[in-house]
Structures are given as structure tokens and as C-alpha cells.
Structure 1
Amino acid sequence: MNHASMIRLGLLSLIACTAFASASAMATDTTVPGHPRVNEVNQRIDNQQARTAKGVANGTITPQQAANDERRAANIAQRESAAEAKHNGHLTKGETRRLNRAENRNSRVIHRQRH
């Protein structure tokens, strides 16, 4: 097996693991009672991961694009956690607005990849 084939196989396994993880995440309840802004951000991240997984499954998104989408989603989730830590588990309106803008950009990228 040459180097390029090994890289492709590694990327495909990464995508398969990502798709499985996002499917598992969707199966669990990610809502946090009393935190509607947190729930909104979490739901959008879950939806975008599902859209990416569907794109990989039907071949419209490449493994590299899916890895980039996952990296952006992880960045948004990390920023959300940091913002929550500052405010005792809550998100301010400004922080929610910034996270939504980042999610909007990510959503547009996913849309362009799938069409």
C-alpha cells in the first residue's frame, strides 16, 4: 500500500468515526435545562455535523472537507465552553451572537460543498 492510499484510508476512517460520533451525539439529549442560548448553539452544531455526514455519505463532500468542517465545529464548541465558563454556565446575548455568526459561516461553507 503506497503512502497516498494510506492517507486516504486514514481520512476515510476519520470520517467514519466522525459520522458515528455525530450520530451518537444526536441520539443523546444535548439540551441543558434553563439554558436556551446554550441549547440553540448545541443544536446548530449537531445539525451541521449531520449535514456534513450526509454529504460524505452521498459523496458530495470529500473526507478533507469533512475534516475541515469538523475542525470548525470543534472550534465553535470550544469557544462556547470558554464563554460558558466565564458566566457560570450561561451565554450572554453578545456571545450567542458571535457564535451564531461563526455557525452561519460554517453553514454556508457546508451548503457550498454539498451543491
Structure 2
Amino acid sequence: MKTSRLAAGLVLALPLLALAQPATPGVDQRQLNQEQRVERGVASGSLTAREASRLERGQQHVANVENRARADGVVTARERARLHQAQDVQSARIARQKHDRQHDFNHNGRVDRVHRR
């Protein structure tokens, strides 16, 4: 009898434990948006494979900062500001790399340069 109550209590407590993890929905959504920007850049050819891999490493850095912030169970205002600053830096890097004159339109791994007249 006691074990079934304990098991039922654990089943009910698991969703609450998941909610105890500090939420960073804005950070998560922005992270997803930036990853999609990189994927679209690769698909369109405006990002080379090398640029994309660098940008993905930067995105991983932001994810690591977020994981460290969430590790103690509380995301402080300072940690949240650091996360937003890291995402701002990554966003600027993505924009800069997508709009430079290096392209891989034919997806062969070599940089195709657009000739200006």
C-alpha cells in the first residue's frame, strides 16, 4: 500500500520537477530563429560551409552560456543580460556572413564570387 502511494506521488511530482527548471522561452525561441537563419543561408548559398560551421559553433557557445545560467535553478537578471548580449553578437555575425560577397550558390564547397561590373 505504501509503495503504491509512493509511486503515485512520484508520478505526480515528475511534471512539477520539469517545471522547476528555470524557463528561458525568449532565449530558446531566439536561438531557434538564429539556427534557422543559418540553415536558410546554407540552403540559399549565401553562406559557405565554413561560415556555417563557425556560426554553428557560436550558437553552441550561446547554448552553453544558457545551460550554465540554468544550472543552479535560477536565471538571474545578470545571466539573462549576458545571454541576450551573446545572442546579439551571434545575430550580428550571422547577418555579416550572410551579406558578405562570399557565396556557394552551386553547393560544391568552393566559394563562388559574384563579379561586379
1:98 aligns with 2:82: yes
1:114 pairs with 2:98? yes
More helix by share: 1
Letter in 2 for 1:58: S
Separation in structure 2 between the aligned mates of residue 59 and residue 33 of structure 1, nearest angstrom: 40
The alpha-carbon deviation at position 33 of structure 1 amounts to 6.3
Q: Equivalent residue for 1:66?
A: 52
Alignment of 1:40 with 2:26, yes or no, is: yes
Distance 1:59 1:114 in 2: 9
Identity of aligned residues (%): 35
Aligned AA (2:88):
N
Normalising by structure 1, we get a TM-score of 0.64
Higher Rg of the two aligned structures: 2
CA RMSD in angstroms comes to: 1.7
Structure 2: tracts of 5 or more residues without a match = 1-17, 100-117
- The corresponding residue for 1:52 is 38
User: How many aligned residue pairs are there?
Assistant: 81
Distance 2:81 2:19 in 1: 20
Amino acid at match of 2:80: T
Query: Partners of 1:39 and 1:33 in 2: how far apart?
Result: 13
What stretches of structure 1 of length at least 5 have no aligned partner? 1-31
Provide, for residues 49-70 of structure 1, a one-character-per-residue CA deviation record: whole Å limited to 9, x for no partner. Answer: 0000000000000111111111
Distance in 2 (CA, whole Å) between partners of 1:84 and 1:54 is 29
